[in-house]
Structure 1
Amino acid sequence: MYGNRVVVTGLGCISPIGLSVDEYWQNLLAGVSGAGRITTFDPEGLPVQIAAEVKGFDPGDYMDRKAARRMERFAQFSIAAAGQALADAGLEVNDSNAWDIGAIIATGGGGIRAVADEMETLVTRGWERVGPMMVPLMIPNMASCQVSMTYGIKGPVVTNTAACAAGVYSMFESLHFLRRGDVAAVVAGGTESAVLPLAFISMARTGALSRRNDDPQTASRPFDRDRDGFVFGEGAGILVLETLEHARARDARIYAELCGGSITGDAFHVSAPEPSGESARRAIAKAIEDADLRPDEIDYVCAHGTGTPLNDSTETKALKLALGEHAYRIPVSSVKSMIGHLLGAAGALSTVAAIKALETGCIPPTINQFTPDPECDLDYVPWKPRKLPIRNVIVNGFGFGGQNSVAVFKKWEEA
């Protein structure tokens, strides 16, 4: 570890089980599933008809309605969650600090919905009817640029598209910006909204999605023997990260310390994880080392845990390789069992859950644990939350293309 210490001072989220951090957290502890039959379009006839959609979201509650009409849903989520996080942190962006605050917000697909809509327009109505706003609606960097424009953030504005590793990757990037002193604060996280036929059909054909259309609330089964794929989710998770010096100078409430991170690549396959788990193991081990901790000092793992046959067994293997026998002694849970897989926002929502676990000493469960899998033999906190004193947690994010990202957070304790 080097440079400035980095702390978490604000949290925000838009999720399939709540439009605020409090609602999200309470529903996680209650084991509420956000999955159901798709409502944003008619899925009849499609092989996959279920998703974990955000319900009751009105962009006008968070931004100017005219502005909202000129941006895609993923950007609306980002603005909403960022506003919550900034308010929670008590951090006002103004002329005196705008250049010292950054926005590092990930997405996997960006405005894929705009591309699909305008392609249909082109095919059915001709080029004259294609809208001039498709490109600014579609480009992924609007995840962070719209937040920058809405709140006046003028420091580094960055969007990574590291697939399902992207949300945790944002933590890694932010950590290094802050350690170096490039900025004093970062609005960091991930956002996604890709619940549309084009994405569903393509992903379903890879075999990655659960086809339990008749029982959506039990479809997401991370680490269960009978898991058959993940459930698409949507939403956003945003944190305010600051240097400790900056947070103390303004007497900010501190949730936790972001004390380590690491990223690696599998160099193996476009969608399957490298089966030995070595690259994921290295990411976990290097993140713990970066945090100046030992493997046996980790108290909880907020897992990637997608519910696909390959991911869950490989992640389990990587944890055992990185933590040794200690892996069997600590809880490992996946919030994707309740909120589905939010792709580029997944790691950010996991991070929000991990921070709340540190704050409250309560670990969210992995629901839908029906049948143990011999290859997934760790403690996955089945069905019910668990009270446990925890000081150090890791958050995993693994993505298509073999991208692995891991962040380490420490319970905040004033010296």
Structure 2
Amino acid sequence: MKTPTAPSPRLASRIDKLTGSVARDILSRTQDKEIISFAGGLPDASLWRDLKLPEVPPSAFQYGPSEGERSLREILARRSKGLGLPANADTTLITSGSQQGLDLAAKLILEPGTPIILEAPSYLAAIQVFKLFQADLHSLPLDSEGICPRALDRLLNETQAPVIYLNPTFQNPSGTSYSLERRKQIAAVLDKHATLLLEDDPYRDIAYDAPPPPPIASFLQTSPWIYLASVSKTLIPGLRLGSLTCSPELFSPLLKLKQAADLHSNRPAQFIATQMLADPAVNQARIDGLCQHYRQKRDLMQTLLAAHFSGLASWEVPSGGMFFWLRFTQRIDLAQALNDTLSRGVAFMPGAPFFADPEDVGTSMRLNFSLVSPERMEEGIRILAAVVRDLHQTAACAESAS
């Protein structure tokens, strides 16, 4: 007797717009410790190998306030205020990573067809969220100082977009850090159009050459803003804690959205973070050590790229963050390259998922330098370059044959 087929459930129409995360898919394929992974944006686990976590009081095991622990909000609000933002604990929300901040902001602002402006390239998980909410995505290319203010002004006139999403400090994936003048110019354009700024700033503390300029939101005079930060890159990523600071009029609806999402973020994690961040001098010393550690890895990858990728790609040395962004001189099949490098024990992130508009996509690659040990980095870059060089030669032969 045949088993009856269960009817397909009726799902929300937006699920058709739901895309998977290429980065998470690659990470799931690279759980094998033998893989040399340049794919994810993972901190170096050796930095907390001997870390002793603070004790968590039993009171942390009970339900807590949706906005987060007051003591942690005060610490993070002081940090935001020190960056020039008009922030306080009453406009600061603890989130389950800055990724939840993106989700809450999207729920607040976006409806099907709502225009939103973002960078090209842009953070792929943000693109994933915006597409889920069926926004109308418009991209502006990055140069060495950020997006062009005049181009932004024109695009806002054309689209009347109510919101722009920017990651202006050690941008993921490009590593670009907007200049001070460019930040001021962009803020002036946003004020002119009364456009809401959604500013994502998880890499600010990981600076190698000089402190970055203040957030764009700090230069706004009238436009509303939402500023996202995270402790994942400088504390412990597994705590999954971020913060959202915003214009006062936006806080109440965002808090209600947080309540509807998960009641509150992990309380034991908040107590741990509060104690680890409580002493500014101790925290700064830890960040300084982290930056020194990552600077050495950045410099090593730059040396290796110069040795193995010269003539194959161009790139800028990032002044902070965790990534190199390579732009290839010739189009190659990066899906094939990824399969080839994975078969040889190396992973990377193809550039295409970082673009909202397929017409903007060239041939590019993001390489993370924070995770892999110096001992294995040279082997991984050598294998990666060998695969790319073979594909370049194959493409050149095919072109000459045609």
Fold shared per TM-score above 0.5: no
- Structure number with larger C-alpha Rg: 2
TM-score band w.r.t. shorter chain: under 0.3
Higher helix share: 2
Considering fraction of residues, name the structure with more strand. 1
Length-normalised TM-score, structure 1: 0.26
TM-score, normalised to structure 2, is: 0.26
